[in-house]
Structure 1
Amino acid sequence: MMDGMASEETRTTTSPHIRSSATGETPEPSTRAWTTRLLVLGIVLAAVNLRPAITSLGALLEEVRDGLGMSGSVAGILTSVPPLCFAVFGVMAPRLARRFGPGAVVCAGMAAITAGLLIRPYVGGTAGFLAASALALMGIAVSNVLMPVIVKRWFPDRVGSMTGLYSMALALGTATAAAATVPVTDLLGGSWQTGLAVWAGLAAVAVLPWLPFVRQRDGARQDDGVRQQGGARQDDGVRQEGGARQDDGVRQEGGARQQGAAPAGQASAREAQPALRITRSRTAWALAVFFGLQATAAYITMGWMPQIFRDAGVPASTAGLLLAVTMVMGVPLAFVIPRVATRLPQQGPIVLVLGVCGLVGYAGLYLAPAAGAWAWALLLGISNCSFPLALTMVGMRARSGAGVAQLSAFAQSTGYLISIPGPLLVGVLYQHSGGWGLPIALMAGLMIPQMVVGVLAGRDRTVEEEAVR
């Protein structure tokens, strides 16, 4: 698969974004192909590590609660930490990428995940556990935001397929951690600390492919897509030579595809334009709310679903497998849904199908959690594929790489802020009601507005059209 993508990349674009760090010149085709393969590998490995920190904890939540002396409300706070960190740190990602380059930020993110996962089981106490978890989640947050940006910038002609690839890898990592954490913990002696720390090894491997993409500053300011060298401004895909602004490959403007050089006056006019006012776009707000509600459902599922099954009499190992089934549904569907979504003018029908699956899954979880456990896990897994759909819509609702970066940061940061109360409220309702009836009713109730705003976010328009009104 990687070889095919690399050869296609070599045919369809000159890969202006991948240049020699020493000379700033475009590499030879063979070097470009090798670099593209390495970049695809880096994207896949990064995506695999974006959820094990969360689902491994969900599988062992009861053991962690007992070991650290947590109440249900405190455990609810613990399950709310991921969206909180994603909201707080995700908004920093575009600024960090402009300063250091997206490759360097993702590399640092993988290192932060490694360190956080390695130390959090052993720091002792709830506060230390939360702080170390926040370190890992900080790395996840910036990588979450930059994945659509990297795909849009390096693979502009294959946003759907590349989004599907890393969404599939993300789902695979999520499911693997959910299914394997309990058996691995038993294999390593039954200590929950060891069972959580083992996932740091996977994150450490993900650091390696990104090392060649860490840009050396050497006194020159290198932005996300902008390099200043010798007084000349060089954009990702745009080089200035002899005072003329030249596109390395393909420039998209107003939805039309243009090749060749743009006049210097036009370049100056574009550079003088104010930054996109993303908050003026109704589509951006709809996408942010949709992202927040699907994230709420996802983190409630990852944090609490194994406990729901365990309280219904399902063994711990089976409960972990049920969570894995839910997560593994994203492996094939995360590759299919983005490709289908990019071929439709509006993504509302996909939103509705996923929402109905979620409603049926919650109804079954309420009425017969143990008897139909595998069916409910399957349906909720289909519903959770709203995540790759949301990422795909981020890439489709903006025309330029800069627009995608702003929209991705806004939608994800705002969305994760919206999702913070959900897992916490589930924990509070569970503790004070003594059962899962009210929490499941809450989950089902949130699916209705998710479907409504998803249809609005899926309309065929871009944020640039709305933000300038």
Structure 2
Amino acid sequence: MMGLMASEETRTVETRTAMSPTERGRATAASTPETTPSTGRTRAWATRLVVVGIVLSALNLRPAITSLGALLEEVRDGLGMSGSVAGLLTSVPPLCFAVFGVTAPRLARRFGPAAVVCAGMAAITAGLLIRPYLGGTPGFLAASALALMGIAVSNVLMPVIVKRWFPDRVGSMTGLYSMALALGTSLAAAVTVPLTDALGGSWRSGLAVWAVIAAAAVLPWLPLVRDRGAAPAQRQEATATPEPQAPLRITRSRTAWALAVFFGLQATAAYITMGWMPQIFRDAGVPAGTAGVLLAVTMVMGVPLAFVIPRVATRLPHQGPIVLVLGACGLAGYAGLYFAPAAGAWAWALLLGVSNCAFPLALTMVGMRARSGRGVVQLSAFAQSTGYLISIPGPLLVGVLYQQSGGWGLPIALMAGLMVPQMAVGFLAGRDRIVEDEATR
């Protein structure tokens, strides 16, 4: 990544060298403090800091959820939760993402995206640290909501930061961000149970330990908190060609709606998987530690694929074929869970891991379906907030069906059934359309 930054600086030097003397004179006369060598070094330093901040932030956007999934049975017993209340607990993440994510654009305009993400990481740290020790289900839910609030605003603003700071590398930077997110997700799923055992067997310590990594993610954003302006690339674009300011009514765009529904259905599948898949395997006779590792396998599939899929997607005029391939893997994985959950556990975990890579694909399409920075902000907030609203009933319904039926047949059938419309709307969202063109007609 540092090599990429260096090559970018080299291209800038080459461009200046290629200018005629007259052009160089005009550029010097019209220069601003942004073009001075010292400011150029500061800008390069800030860009590298943004890369570090993106990676560390992405690492912390899922451990609050997958660490809980690995210890859900222990948390239920410790807090006296029923299956329905546990289903409500697994529905809290999308609810918080929908409610708080919609506030992200307004907060970013007022305080700057870096400041909002910094505050989000601080909220994650506080929520993870205090939620195991507040006592009782209401306190646990409230502290979880605090952490999820921080995740929500950071979820929405990550594509915005990528578009602002790296407009010519949306695919690769989205891939890097998605890869770090998948790594954090799988790491929490895999090591939470062993960490809990090493810390004395207390599920409270096993959940609270993830606050340490969240605290580290606050640090890279602190020097950028006061930077409320546009990123370097945006300032250059604004000087050269101002963006049209026609009213953008995002709800008029069919592509925006298709992307929002696709985002919601893939989030439904992801949160059902993160919240319930370890329990599915445990009920089938798989040991708790192995069930956590299986969830980690599902999540870790996103590490390489989350880097590859966005890069492939940005090279295709239509992302629909990728949607269909991911959906087919999901249907195969659900069929395996239904007929032979324990016998083919590793295969089903792999297939569902591939299917869950619809998330980085959706993020990539957010950056591709909007032309301007303003459009990306609105599309990201709309698609994610609406999508997470759509995903709220899924995990809760799975918990209710599980408790009422006493088995996993009906919940798995529901998961498989939802995959079909996900493939349909994802295919529509993958068409080569621009939301600004649709929304301003």
User: How far apart are residue 236 of structure 1 and its match?
Assistant: 6.3
User: How far apart are residue 237 of structure 1 and its match?
Assistant: 4.9
Q: 5 Å matches for 1:339-358?
A: 339-358=311-330
Q: 8 Å contact 1:9–1:33 — kept in the other structure?
A: no
Q: 2:81 matched to 1:70?
A: yes
Provide the rounded CA distance (Å) in 1 between the counterparts of 2:33 and 2:401.
Answer: 57
**Equivalent AA in structure 2 for residue 161 of structure 1:** S
Does the residue aligned with 1:38 lie in a helix, a strand or coil? Answer: helix
For residues 392-448 of structure 1, what are the alpha-carbon distances to aligned partners after superposition, in whole Å with 9 as ceiling and x for unaligned? Answer: 000000001110000000000000000000000000000000000000000000000
- 2:167 match: 156
1:270 and 1:78, CA in 2 relative to 1: closer, same or farther beyond 3 A? Answer: same
Provide the rounded CA distance (Å) in 2 between the counterparts of 1:437 and 1:41.
Answer: 44
For residues 240-292 of structure 1, what are the alpha-carbon distances to aligned partners after superposition, in whole Å with 9 as ceiling and x for unaligned? Answer: xxxxxxxx5346xxxxxxxx745xxxx5x934x32x10000000000000000
For residues 321-350 of structure 1, what are the alpha-carbon distances to aligned partners after superposition, in whole Å with 9 as ceiling and x for unaligned? Answer: 000000000000000000000000000000
Provide the rounded CA distance (Å) in 1 between the counterparts of 2:8 and 2:165.
Answer: 9
Alignment size in residue pairs: 421
Q: 2:10 matched to 1:8?
A: no
Which structure shows the higher helix fraction? 2
For residues 337-386 of structure 1, what are the alpha-carbon distances to aligned partners after superposition, in whole Å with 9 as ceiling and x for unaligned? Answer: 00000000000000000000000000000000000000000000000000
1:429 to 395, 401, 422: 401
Q: 8 Å contact 2:171–2:314 — kept in the other structure?
A: yes
- 1:291 match: 263
- 2:252 match: 280
Provide the rounded CA distance (Å) in 2 between the counterparts of 1:80 and 1:24.
Answer: 49
Q: 8 Å contact 1:9–1:155 — kept in the other structure?
A: no
TM-score normalised according to structure 1 size: 0.87
User: How far apart are residue 11 of structure 1 and its match?
Assistant: 4.0
2:365 to 372, 389, 393: 393
1:303 to 275, 278, 303: 275
Q: 8 Å contact 1:310–1:319 — kept in the other structure?
A: yes
Q: 8 Å contact 1:10–1:32 — kept in the other structure?
A: no
- 2:415 match: 443
1:365 to 333, 337, 340: 337
- 2:384 match: 412
- 2:96 match: 85
- Where does the alignment leave 5 or more consecutive residues of structure 2 unmatched? 14-31
Provide the rounded CA distance (Å) in 1 between the counterparts of 2:253 and 2:42.
Answer: 41
Does the residue aligned with 2:236 lie in a helix, a strand or coil? Answer: strand
TM-score normalised according to structure 2 size: 0.93
Q: Which moved more, 1:373-382 or 1:25-34?
A: 25-34
Does the residue aligned with 1:156 lie in a helix, a strand or coil? Answer: coil
Provide the rounded CA distance (Å) in 2 between the counterparts of 1:462 and 1:356.
Answer: 27
- 1:255 match: none
Provide the rounded CA distance (Å) in 1 between the counterparts of 2:51 and 2:4.
Answer: 8
1:128 and 1:454, CA in 2 relative to 1: closer, same or farther beyond 3 A? Answer: same
Q: 2:221 matched to 1:197?
A: no
Provide the rounded CA distance (Å) in 1 between the counterparts of 2:82 and 2:12.
Answer: 55
- 2:236 match: 249
Provide the rounded CA distance (Å) in 1 between the counterparts of 2:240 and 2:108.
Answer: 27
User: How far apart are residue 35 of structure 1 and its match?
Assistant: 1.9
Provide the rounded CA distance (Å) in 2 between the counterparts of 1:115 and 1:24.
Answer: 39
Q: 8 Å contact 1:292–1:418 — kept in the other structure?
A: yes
Provide the rounded CA distance (Å) in 2 between the counterparts of 1:438 and 1:376.
Answer: 18
**Equivalent AA in structure 1 for residue 3 of structure 2:** G
- 2:374 match: 402
- 1:462 match: 434
Q: 5 Å matches for 1:292-331?
A: 292-331=264-303
For residues 129-167 of structure 1, what are the alpha-carbon distances to aligned partners after superposition, in whole Å with 9 as ceiling and x for unaligned? Answer: 000000000000000000000000000000000000000
For residues 66-88 of structure 1, what are the alpha-carbon distances to aligned partners after superposition, in whole Å with 9 as ceiling and x for unaligned? Answer: 00000000000000000000000
- 2:25 match: none
**Equivalent AA in structure 2 for residue 339 of structure 1:** R
Q: 5 Å matches for 1:122-271?
A: 122-215=133-226, 222=228, 225=230, 237=233, 248-250=235-237, 261-262=240-241, 270-271=244-245
User: How far apart are residue 127 of structure 1 and its match?
Assistant: 0.3
Does the residue aligned with 1:346 lie in a helix, a strand or coil? Answer: coil
User: How far apart are residue 32 of structure 1 and its match?
Assistant: 2.5
Provide the rounded CA distance (Å) in 2 between the counterparts of 1:79 and 1:120.
Answer: 15
1:293 and 1:12, CA in 2 relative to 1: closer, same or farther beyond 3 A? Answer: farther
1:430 and 1:24, CA in 2 relative to 1: closer, same or farther beyond 3 A? Answer: farther
**Equivalent AA in structure 2 for residue 70 of structure 1:** M
2:120 to 99, 109, 113: 109
**Equivalent AA in structure 1 for residue 5 of structure 2:** A
Provide the rounded CA distance (Å) in 2 between the counterparts of 1:270 and 1:381.
Answer: 41
Provide the rounded CA distance (Å) in 1 between the counterparts of 2:433 and 2:11.
Answer: 26
User: How far apart are residue 24 of structure 1 and its match?
Assistant: 7.2
User: How far apart are residue 10 of structure 1 and its match?
Assistant: 2.6
- 1:337 match: 309
Provide the rounded CA distance (Å) in 1 between the counterparts of 2:174 and 2:251.
Answer: 25
- 2:352 match: 380
Q: 8 Å contact 2:193–2:206 — kept in the other structure?
A: yes
1:364 and 1:250, CA in 2 relative to 1: closer, same or farther beyond 3 A? Answer: same
**Equivalent AA in structure 2 for residue 156 of structure 1:** P
Q: 8 Å contact 2:34–2:40 — kept in the other structure?
A: no
Which structure shows the higher strand fraction? 1
User: How far apart are residue 3 of structure 1 and its match?
Assistant: 1.2
